[in-house]
Structure 1
């Protein structure tokens, strides 16, 4: 369990900072690491993800966590890892930062799950600035986050940038947004694309029994699934629309 701890060193730390020893028990992060108290619960969720368990000893995962730490923690972690890293704690300043950005998007997803949507939104935006071509799919994650948090105004401002986009993450997010707004035309268009191109993903987000999810794993499936599961009426409508049982 993460607990607030005071540091016995000469330098006094801001009240409420999380003990590095607690983080070491979770992710193997160096005991000296002190993490901002806004996100310790997100780190617990992060540690429970299968992908992170496989990568927990990877230096870039530790550095991504240190991104949210104070400057001294960043420098200490950087000094102990045999990897290239910027002298500052901002991993987004790196020329080639894809592994770090992947770790950051994983952490952002956990921030969303634990009620820190604003922090997650900031991470996604910085990832997009670092990668104009957005190979991380941060634009889709932002759209999902808009719908999940009920920020309809932000979502509608974002929609023109997805004109002609048939990526499943966008199609199924727009479908749910249209369902909530009662926009039959948009619902019909998105549903037709989803049924024709992504039946496995539709079955997954609809929570149908006996679904083979292996084909859907790479399509932001966890974020989409969480979005639809938070909207049971929409899930029921989707199951009825595609003619499958729950």
Structure 2
């Protein structure tokens, strides 16, 4: 009898998840919310329904935070304790874990937005413990939080955990970490040179020469402006709160303006 009940719950969760897939494709927020609410009537363990509802809740509201928390709770309940032992290290590779992981990542970001740094950091570190391949990009958010929290030792360890990360967000963070560690020196300048090579658009946004758009880009392309925007949204507070970092960035990259002015001058008709 217990096995039958377990199978029924599993089938109900699968049907609820199918509704969430439909919700992701829905054309309006109202329709997405309606489908998420319907999914919860089919299975109260549908974590992705809470994820979707949280994404449509008022940012930084108690309602939003509670929805993220509820998503984590039911996601863990749906998986069962055994999954957290059997799947650790490759968590994202099992499809049934992903609603829980989405909910937990969303909870971490919501906590960060409310200034609850410690709990947000704990969630992100555990996400990386469960899934060190980091399909969600949790390490970038964690790095930004560690900078803001001035946990430089933990940041250094995190950077060492992903030595082959080729994303501009990583090289820019390595440059900031080097400056925080030793100020203006050969290493920090070399790191910054590499960061600018990876994505030079970041400079103008960090220096306030370009405003960050209110609506974030839909996609991120390596080396492009959209990648720079996403980096600055998460890391500008860390740069601004690091004494001397913005002035150092302006100083070291000042030849960039001369080159740009010369290029514009050459492009003008004579």
TM-score of the superposition, structure 1-length normalised?
Answer: 0.58
Residue aligning to 2:187:
186
**Aligned to 1:108, what secondary structure does the other structure show?**
helix
Give a deviation string over 1:124-179, Cα, whole Å, max 9, x none.
12222332311112223222222221112222333332334332222122211221
In the TM superposition, what are the counterparts of 1:23-172 in structure 2 within 5 Å?
47-48=58-59, 64-67=68-71, 74=74, 86=78, 95-96=94-95, 97-172=97-172
1:225 aligns with 2:236: yes
Alpha-carbon distance between aligned partners in 1 of 2:101 and 2:155, rounded to the nearest angstrom: 23
Aligned counterparts of 2:160 and 2:192: Cα–Cα separation in 1: 19
Tell me if structure 2 keeps the 8 A contact 1:203–1:211. no
Give the TM-score, by structure 2 length. 0.53
Q: 1:235 aligns with which of 246, 262, 266?
A: 246
Contact persistence 2:176–2:239 (CA under 8 A): yes
Greater helix share, structure number:
2
Change (3 A) 1:226 1:110: farther
1:226–1:102: structure 2 CA closer, same or farther, 3 Å change rule? farther
Q: Distance in 1 between matches of 2:231 and 2:205?
A: 12
CA distance in 2, matches of 1:186, 1:48: 39
Structure-1 separation of matches of 2:238 and 2:201? 16
- How many residue pairs match? The answer is 185
Instruction: Give the equivalent residue in structure 1 for 2:202.
Output: 201
Task: Answer yes or no: is the 8 Å Cα contact 1:179–1:187 preserved in 2.
Answer: yes
Paired position in structure 1 for 2:176: 176
Larger Rg: 2
Change (3 A) 1:239 1:48: farther
